Structure 1
Amino acid sequence: MELGLCASSFLGNQMVPATQFCRGTRAVSLTVTASGSYNRRNDKIYTRLDTCLVIPPPPRFKKPRAIVKFLGGAFVGAVPELTYSYLKELLAKEGYLIVSVPYNVTFDHEQAAKQVYERFNSCLDLILSSGIPSSNFKPQDLAHLPLFSVGHSNGALLQALTGSYFAEKIPKANAIISFNNKSATEAVPYFEQLGPLIQQMMPVVEASPVYEMARNASGDVLKGLLDTVGATILNNDQEALKSFTKLVDQLPSVFGEVGQGVSEFRPSPLENRNRFKCSYSVPHTLLVQFNSDAIDETDVLEETLRPRIESIGGTLEKVRLNGNHLTPCIQDPKWQTGYAYTPADAVAQALKTIPLSETRVLSRTIVDWFRRFED
């Protein structure tokens, strides 16, 4: 029930079963080898700095090509090391220092955008003053690097809002993927009727032993709980556990807003568009849409942004790729074959290759576009 609401509210009105994020996804843990490539092992390459998660490029890069601020969709963006690991791995392999900014989900998008801005710049100040010791990057290696950003779904909206609320310390180039700015009533059918229902549910949710266990359990206990519903995503990763706990902690506040009568996102979609028209200040913007995304509003955003970007002497481009709204979240699960390679193995590998190839094309499109602005 909870994840269904999350998916329909912030990833669009395609109802996503909870098991899709559990059974279809496996945590991709990465480590850096002496050869400078990423291999999937039990170790991790990301580092938690301040409130953000940082993935450095492989050692073959003496310094990063650029710093990339990464915002995922609502709720799934709270655990980016699980939900966006494959896409971020591809970007990091190209030499980019990836800084994922988890954010609290709220119906107040202005508050969320300002929170993202503050969290990212706090982390960036730490990086520029202390470097990244775990990767042997010193402050001087990171000074004066270009700043880019990538945002998906609700994260795309927040990237656009951040570039409109602030004129300083903003990215040079912004890749906006699967932009959506629908009203709450459009995103969630019968949304206005949910308030009284959730208001009645919240005491039950907060008193639930499952909820309390999710908030307070140790890694082994929580992993056991998730295994009962077919999930193996945490992989005893304490940093991922922290992210997951923060995700769970957001549920009462979101439900509480609805229970208190909140019936619309703030600012409204119209107010957001007006803000973009008057204040959007990122010089270069790439809009990415997928050919099977029924909730995408990239065309509306293009129409809104183009006059503003032209007035500040910037550039705006749009690409349409194969894929759907969840393509950026596709992971790379390992299919374990038996002693003999069977037709079932062949089918599984073929099915896996299709979405992975779409995510690789997405990454390549973003990388090729970023390269134009690295000087």
Structure 2
Amino acid sequence: MSDRPMAQRVPAWQDVTGSSVLIPNRPKGIIHFIGGAFVATAPKYTYRFLLEYLASQGYLVIATPLINTLNHKEMAQEALNRFEQTCDRLYATGQLRKRGLPVYGVGHSLGCKLHLLISSLFSVKRAGNVLMAYNNYPARRSIPFVEQLSLLTEVEFTPSPEQTQDLIANHYGVRRNLLIKFQDDTIDQSLILRPLLEGMFPDWVSFRLLKGTHLTPIAQDIPWEVGQSFSPLDAMAQWVKQGLSRDLKSLTREVAFWLDPTTRL
């Protein structure tokens, strides 16, 4: 994929009813973004490059922050409520005028699970979901030191991984899905989710295996300024930066193209 100018100027970030929002001119769709555990409290910083790229492609981005708890059903409900409150405020203030725009869920890691729960437990209309590095491991594997805590009491998420799988199988209603797995991601469970979704929607599930790690979606295209002389440290930094930047840009363009195949990449 070649480097081409972004389709639109990146709009300024706004805080609307507690969500981080990017509003392009004449949006062609709305993205509800939910990030991963611990990095989704400030998505406009941790996922800045990814979200600004999507806004530059004409999508109104609403990133709802997460406060991590063991109750993922409540977290999903809170994320949905925040998203709907933000949409209502944008309509009320005239910042969003066109009704009926397609809504896409975009999630990373735990954010994937929350989008799956939103679309299984609540009455929502989604044009599609983008699920990056899906993770549905039990609490023992997901939370540091929880094994020591569970010596005293059993600790598990609500719903549990097994209950989540059942909810998806019986109630998930979003037909069009993009699953993204990164080659060097050891905690991704997309290969478990993929046959489940394909069994329900055999012609509507796309799967992409991309270079990168579980943390690729939160990578940033940060400039590295070389000193007066090019040192070995500069060489290493440039090499690392080029790899991270290449993986991140590949991800952003893959998502944008799936959302709209007419996107200029």
Superposition TM-score, scaled by structure 2 size: 0.89
Mapping of residues 121-140 of structure 1, within 5 Å: 121-132=84-95, 139-140=96-97
* Inter-CA distance 343–131: structure 2 relative to 1 (3 Å threshold): farther
Match of 1:333 in 2: 222
* Superposed displacement of residue 183, structure 1: 0.9
The structure with the larger Rg is: 1
Mapping of residues 200-239 of structure 1, within 5 Å: none
Judge conservation of contact 2:29–2:60 (CA < 8 Å) in 1. yes
* Superposed displacement of residue 194, structure 1: 2.2
Judge conservation of contact 1:163–1:281 (CA < 8 Å) in 2. yes
Between the aligned partners of 1:127 and 1:321, the Cα distance in structure 2 is 35
Structure 2 residue 164 is the aligned partner of structure 1 residue 272: yes
Residue number among 159, 180, 197 corresponding to 2:115 in the alignment:
159
Match of 2:190 in 1: 298
Match of 1:93 in 2: 56
Match of 1:228 in 2: none
* Superposed displacement of residue 90, structure 1: 1.6
Q: Which runs of 4+ in 1 moved over 6 A?
A: none
Higher-helix-fraction structure: 1
Residue number among 29, 38, 45 corresponding to 1:75 in the alignment:
38
Structure 2 residue 10 is the aligned partner of structure 1 residue 46: no
| Cα deviations by residue, 1:278-301 (Å, 9 ceiling, x for unpaired) | 110112111110111111110111
Per mean C-alpha deviation after superposition, the further-off stretch among 294-303 and 346-355 is 346-355
Structure 2 residue 153 is the aligned partner of structure 1 residue 194: no
SS at match of 1:78: coil
Give the partner amino acid of 1:120. Answer: F
Judge conservation of contact 1:55–1:97 (CA < 8 Å) in 2. yes
* Superposed displacement of residue 342, structure 1: 4.4
Between the aligned partners of 2:71 and 2:120, the Cα distance in structure 1 is 15
Give the partner amino acid of 1:180. Answer: N
Structure 2 residue 150 is the aligned partner of structure 1 residue 183: no
Listed as ranges, the gaps of 5+ residues in structure 2 are 1-6
Between the aligned partners of 2:174 and 2:12, the Cα distance in structure 1 is 30
Mapping of residues 3-152 of structure 1, within 5 Å: 37-38=9-10, 45-57=12-24, 62-132=25-95, 139-140=96-97, 142-152=98-108
Judge conservation of contact 2:180–2:208 (CA < 8 Å) in 1. yes
Percent identity over paired residues: 32
* Inter-CA distance 373–70: structure 2 relative to 1 (3 Å threshold): farther
Give the partner amino acid of 1:101. Answer: T
Across the aligned residues of Structure 1 and Structure 2, the Cα RMSD in angstroms comes to: 2.3
Between the aligned partners of 2:262 and 2:193, the Cα distance in structure 1 is 22
Between the aligned partners of 2:164 and 2:249, the Cα distance in structure 1 is 31
Give the partner amino acid of 1:285. Answer: N
| Cα deviations by residue, 1:38-62 (Å, 9 ceiling, x for unpaired) | 5xxxxx92100002110123xxxx4
* Count of aligned residue pairs for this structure pair: 257
* Superposed displacement of residue 64, structure 1: 1.2
Per mean C-alpha deviation after superposition, the further-off stretch among 345-354 and 294-303 is 345-354
Match of 1:254 in 2: none
Match of 2:4 in 1: none
Between the aligned partners of 1:108 and 1:347, the Cα distance in structure 2 is 42
Between the aligned partners of 1:125 and 1:266, the Cα distance in structure 2 is 29
* Inter-CA distance 156–191: structure 2 relative to 1 (3 Å threshold): same
Judge conservation of contact 1:281–1:309 (CA < 8 Å) in 2. no
Give the partner amino acid of 1:45. Answer: A
Judge conservation of contact 1:153–1:180 (CA < 8 Å) in 2. yes
Give the partner amino acid of 1:320. Answer: L
